[in-house]
Structure 1
């Protein structure tokens, strides 16, 4: 009996050891060029952040981890590999994220939307661009024109809503064709398409490269948009601590972006080829989108809107239960483990803050509505200015000294988003103070109301210097 008991104990101990010593796969699908997914993929991978948080105690005491990364240019193929069981996590936007949930359901499985990575409650981040020489100044000028868009993307949903807001029939009043961003860039340069709608970062990247001009920003649709992370539900139930570890790595990546946006904008450029100046538009203070991580009601709404749009496109026969598809328990636990207050973040709608002094006057900047910034070539940090007038004056001095400028930024008067100033329109008020706008029509309305004038970037600079 004693021998049998001893053998039984040895067998149980051996079985327990085999369970504890097994290898756990952590397979993550990323979208590197979709730069507002950086805190859910690229930065975690490049900085080795996941390894810092993976558990090695309790049932994970003797576990080893097989960390796998795979990069995609859009959400649809990433979803295909998740449904096929080849990936455990994936980062994507609200629209393809909703499709992810639908695809899992169709396969008799379930996925969970576990956190937000970056977003804008008004919709900024998606946009529509036209060739640089186009006469179109707004979406209203595109009736009867060909607009390309990556199908089943968050930009596709934005385009359909924008067309509907014009009172147009999407099948008759515009010609919407499927086109990936890498193809659209060449088509815009060759004037083979009249407009292109796309997601982050292409609405800013193509204008920054000088061959396109942005004429519509997603914020005009006033429809929330975001990118976030999903996980296979069965994986999350089996390894909840691994899911929390991934989210803690995401939290640290977000903190690093906040602390040193220029440095990590450069890293993103090194990996993706997307210029640091464009990355800074999103990840710098007062950026196009907020790096939020919390499930604000507006982002939950965005998933619901995406599901409704999928039904409209006949890509989904039924909806998803948002209360079970969106699961915030893991991000709440990750916040707690990182010593952060999730509920405080849930209530915080502020843009990434700017704490800086005016580079020209040295005075603290307290009014962020008219902030302008200059990134001088060779300088590791962006210079901040309290007003466009001060920035234009500094820009003239920099050029006089023979210094090259990587980018000039201005905050939009109406939406508050960061703009490439070279693409913006400026309007003066009765006292000559300049405000920036994405569209000429917006600037004209403001100038008319304020008794001022409208200027393009070059003329605004000349006006500011003349008035200095």
Structure 2
């Protein structure tokens, strides 16, 4: 009897210990090359931020954690592994995120969209590029042409909306084919396709590498887009404090990006191979997208639009309930735990701010509509200028000094998005002041109304240099 009692007590103690000292898996699917997911994956992993926030009290007093990371190049395979129970969290865009919710429902499960990571309420981030030598200057020039796109991506949704806005039949007026970005890059260089539509960062990466030109930015569709984080609902219900810890790590990653965008753009390049100057386009001040983790109405709308597009593509026969699929309780809790005001950020639509002096004149920059920037090779910080004229004057001096330049940036006059200046078009007004535009047609329209002329990057740079002498 004593032996039995002893054995029974040992078994009971072992079971109690196994519960108290359980190992909790935290399996996170990332998209490292989709660089505006950085605050939900790459930076958390590389900087070890998640460990700082994991709970170790209450029911987690004796818990152990096993953090697993797996990287993907798109959202669809990430969703497959989440539905299969191999991943607990995932980061992806609005369109594949909506598909994630549909896939979970089809499997008799549920996922939750728990936060935004980065986005643009007008749609910037997605884009369409053509080979450098192409005669096409806008989407209107692509009727009857072959356009490739990663199917079931947020760029696919953008392309369909852009084609519809032209009044075209997507099955007759253009030839849309499925193509991953790594394949499309080679196809563009070999002139095997007329254009390629893609998500972050390829609309900027391919032009930066010199074999493509961007002729359409998602902001022209005026349709909100974002990337965000999802979680398996059953996991969130079982470990809500872990979900909040993950989001708190993302909040810190976001703060680090805002404070030192050049430093972390370099880190992203080290991990992904995507050039830091392209990363800075998104993560720097006045960038293409804002790092915004709050559920603004426009981002909720983006999920609804994605669901409608999935129905159009016959990828979903029923709609998700946005009121339950989008769940902001965890990000609100994470903000509160981090001492931040969620409501204040929810109402804030400003771009990532720029607080700087003109590197040429030393005067504070107060008007951000015409800001230009130069990243000099070997310098840890980007130089800021109040105008293209100021930047071009500085660029001439840098060239004379033999200093190499990594990138020159300009803010678009109409949309306010950050552009690679060597890819931009410029228009002068009657006083010779320069404004930057993505498209030649946009620059022409401005020049006609302002009594100026249209210039490419080299001509604009030469004009500014002459005027400064």
- Using the TM superposition, give the Cα deviation of residue 18 of structure 1 relative to its aligned residue in structure 2, in angstroms: 2.1
Task: Determine the C-alpha separation between the residues in 2 that align with 1:303 and 1:343.
Answer: 21
| Consecutive unaligned residues in structure 1, runs of 5 or more | none
The answer on 1:185 being equivalent to 2:179 is no
- Using the TM superposition, give the Cα deviation of residue 5 of structure 1 relative to its aligned residue in structure 2, in angstroms: 11
Partner of 2:240: 240
Partner of 1:255: 255
Q: Secondary structure at the match of 2:410?
A: strand
The answer on 1:42 being equivalent to 2:46 is no
Partner of 1:228: 228
Q: Secondary structure at the match of 1:264?
A: helix
- Using the TM superposition, give the Cα deviation of residue 19 of structure 1 relative to its aligned residue in structure 2, in angstroms: 1.3
Task: Determine the C-alpha separation between the residues in 2 that align with 1:131 and 1:339.
Answer: 48
The answer on 1:447 being equivalent to 2:444 is no
Q: Secondary structure at the match of 2:309?
A: helix
Matches within 5 A, 1:321-336: 321-336=321-336
Cα gap change, 1:338 to 1:4, in 2 (>3 Å):
farther
- Using the TM superposition, give the Cα deviation of residue 17 of structure 1 relative to its aligned residue in structure 2, in angstroms: 2.9
Task: Determine the C-alpha separation between the residues in 2 that align with 1:30 and 1:375.
Answer: 29
Partner of 1:58: 58
- Using the TM superposition, give the Cα deviation of residue 6 of structure 1 relative to its aligned residue in structure 2, in angstroms: 11
Q: Secondary structure at the match of 2:29?
A: strand
User: Deviation per CA, 1:19-68, whole angstroms, max 9, x where unpaired?
Assistant: 12110000000000000000000000000001111111111111111100
Task: Determine the C-alpha separation between the residues in 1 that align with 2:248 and 2:11.
Answer: 37
Partner of 2:285: 285
User: Deviation per CA, 1:419-462, whole angstroms, max 9, x where unpaired?
Assistant: 00000000111111111000000001111111111100000001
- Using the TM superposition, give the Cα deviation of residue 15 of structure 1 relative to its aligned residue in structure 2, in angstroms: 3.8
Task: Determine the C-alpha separation between the residues in 2 that align with 1:443 and 1:20.
Answer: 66
Partner of 1:363: 363
Partner of 1:340: 340
Matches within 5 A, 1:28-427: 28-427=28-427
- Using the TM superposition, give the Cα deviation of residue 154 of structure 1 relative to its aligned residue in structure 2, in angstroms: 0.1
Task: Determine the C-alpha separation between the residues in 2 that align with 1:9 and 1:272.
Answer: 53
C-alpha root-mean-square deviation of aligned residues, in Å? 1.6
- Using the TM superposition, give the Cα deviation of residue 385 of structure 1 relative to its aligned residue in structure 2, in angstroms: 0.2
Task: Determine the C-alpha separation between the residues in 2 that align with 1:114 and 1:200.
Answer: 21
User: Deviation per CA, 1:245-265, whole angstroms, max 9, x where unpaired?
Assistant: 000000000000000000000
User: Deviation per CA, 1:349-405, whole angstroms, max 9, x where unpaired?
Assistant: 000000000000111101101000000000000000000000000000000000000
Task: Determine the C-alpha separation between the residues in 2 that align with 1:118 and 1:426.
Answer: 28
- Using the TM superposition, give the Cα deviation of residue 467 of structure 1 relative to its aligned residue in structure 2, in angstroms: 1.2
- In the superposition, the TM-score normalised over structure 1's length comes to 0.98
Q: Secondary structure at the match of 2:204?
A: helix
Task: Determine the C-alpha separation between the residues in 2 that align with 1:206 and 1:114.
Answer: 31
Q: Secondary structure at the match of 2:443?
A: helix
Q: Secondary structure at the match of 2:427?
A: strand
